[in-house]
């Protein structure tokens, strides 16, 4: 993945999504050789010369002013996530530090873990932009139990399980939506942290081994993921859909806490309570082969 090719393909893919009519331009007759807007039409809408926009789309964003980036974002009708991604790409092209400072990896503070474990009524976990689950409370470990038993290594990684484990397609039943969301989140993080070698390694592994990932990655879609709904097909409680809210941890740059919840009195709430009961049973059961386990079996 090179920054120049990422810029080129991102801008071209966004340009292809906007028709002249959507951009408020007159619809001329005749065959158009490209889907969406032409480069000269984007230049016109952004108020820059054609030659300058062509340079930008060739990956030469270094040195582009905020005014120019805003103008291009407006011409291409970028949403909030796409606009932020464009700025991240420009920052990477100029080899300026990422807007989110990186800290050396270390153990999570005890205070953060206490907050996480105090959330006993809802599954909650802490993750990084690479989609590693770095810590989870007991109810979340029960919800994500297929990931913890898949043998995919530690830390548990949502993307690797989803695309490389045969159980991934069953656990995330809304396959297309789940694929597009995961890939868009990794694409967003790649723009934020182009020098993250572990992230680059993960993406390279997934591109090489998963056709579904490779196809979605080529779309250059990005997204912000602060709130919404997640659907699961759990091996114990069946289909369950939960609301999620994700909050960045200011004292831990690059990490976020995600909590999943559901409205009381709904079938999904009943399933979550069943999951909690199962989790309590599993937590109380000693590992197979331990003395206590042997006593219980005798």
- Average pLDDT for residues 103-112, to the nearest whole number? 79
Are residues 204 and 242 located together in one domain of the fold?
Answer: yes
- CATH number reported for the structural domain that contains residue 240 in this entry: 3.30.450.180
Are residues 144 and 276 located together in one domain of the fold?
Answer: yes
pTM: 0.88
Q: Flag whether pLDDT at 289 surpasses 60.
A: no
State the pLDDT at residue 153: 74
Q: Which of 64, 93, 122 is the last residue of a domain?
A: 93
In sequence order, what E strands does the chain have? 124-128, 132-136, 156-157, 227-234, 238-248, 255-261
Are residues 38 and 171 located together in one domain of the fold?
Answer: no
> Domain tally for the chain?
2
| Domain interval for residue 148 | 110-284
* Residues 118, 259 contacting (CB under 8 angstroms): no
Are residues 117 and 88 located together in one domain of the fold?
Answer: no
- 296 domain-assigned: no
Q: Which of 93, 119, 142 is the last residue of a domain?
A: 93
Are residues 78 and 20 located together in one domain of the fold?
Answer: yes
Are residues 49 and 161 located together in one domain of the fold?
Answer: no
Q: Which of 60, 93, 126 is the last residue of a domain?
A: 93
Written as six digits, the tokens of 294 are 């042997």
- Bridge partner residues of 246 (DSSP): 258
Are residues 17 and 152 located together in one domain of the fold?
Answer: no
Are residues 163 and 231 located together in one domain of the fold?
Answer: yes
- Read off the pLDDT band of 186 (50, 70, 90): very high
Written as six digits, the tokens of 289 are 């082969």
Q: For residues 296 and 298, what is the distance between their CA atoms, to the nearest angstrom?
A: 6
Are residues 10 and 155 located together in one domain of the fold?
Answer: no
Distances (CA, A) of 180 to 1, 135, 209, 218: 19, 24, 17, 11
Are residues 275 and 153 located together in one domain of the fold?
Answer: yes
- 105 domain-assigned: no
The tens digit of pLDDT for each residue in 51-104 reads 999 999 999 999 999 999 999 999 999 999 999 999 999 999 988 655 554 554
State the pLDDT at residue 11: 97
Number of helices (H) and strands (E), helices first, in the chain? 15, 6
Are residues 77 and 206 located together in one domain of the fold?
Answer: no
- 295 domain-assigned: no
Environment class of 204 (CB within 10 Å of its CB; exposed 0-12, middle 13-18, buried 19+): exposed
Q: For residues 159 and 182, what is the distance between their CA atoms, to the nearest angstrom?
A: 7
* Residues 256, 126 contacting (CB under 8 angstroms): yes
Are residues 142 and 266 located together in one domain of the fold?
Answer: yes
């Amino acid at each position: 993945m090179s920054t120049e090719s990422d810029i080129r393909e991102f801008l071209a893919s966004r340009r292809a999504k906007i028709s002249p009519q959507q951009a408020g331009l007159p619809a001329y007759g005749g065959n158009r050789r490209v889907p969406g807007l032409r480069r000269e039409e984007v230049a016109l809408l952004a108020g820059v010369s054609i030659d300058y926009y062509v340079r930008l789309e060739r990956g030469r964003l270094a040195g582009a002013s905020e005014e120019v980036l805003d103008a291009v974002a407006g011409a291409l009708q970028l949403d909030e996530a796409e606009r932020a991604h464009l700025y991240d790409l420009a920052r990477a092209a100029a080899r300026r530090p990422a807007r989110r400072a990186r800290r050396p990896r270390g153990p999570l503070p005890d205070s953060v873990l206490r907050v996480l474990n105090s959330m006993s009524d809802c599954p909650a976990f802490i993750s990084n932009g690479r989609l590693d689950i770095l810590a989870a409370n007991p109810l979340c470990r029960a919800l994500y139990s297929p990931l913890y038993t898949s043998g995919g290594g530690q830390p548990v990684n949502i993307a690797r399980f989803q695309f490389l484990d045969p159980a991934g397609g069953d656990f995330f039943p809304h396959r297309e939506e789940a694929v597009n969301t995961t890939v868009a989140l990794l694409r967003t993080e790649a723009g934020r942290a182009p020098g993250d070698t572990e992230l680059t390694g993960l993406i390279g592994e997934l591109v090489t081994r998963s056709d579904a990932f490779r196809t979605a990655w080529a779309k250059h879609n990005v997204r912000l993921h602060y709130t919404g709904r997640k659907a699961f097909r759990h091996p114990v409680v069946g289909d369950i859909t939960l609301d999620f809210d994700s909050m960045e941890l200011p004292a831990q740059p690059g990490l976020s806490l995600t909590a999943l919840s559901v409205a009381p009195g709904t079938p999904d709430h009943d399933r979550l309570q069943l999951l909690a009961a199962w989790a309590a049973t599993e937590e109380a059961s000693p590992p197979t082969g331990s003395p206590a386990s042997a006593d219980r079996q005798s």
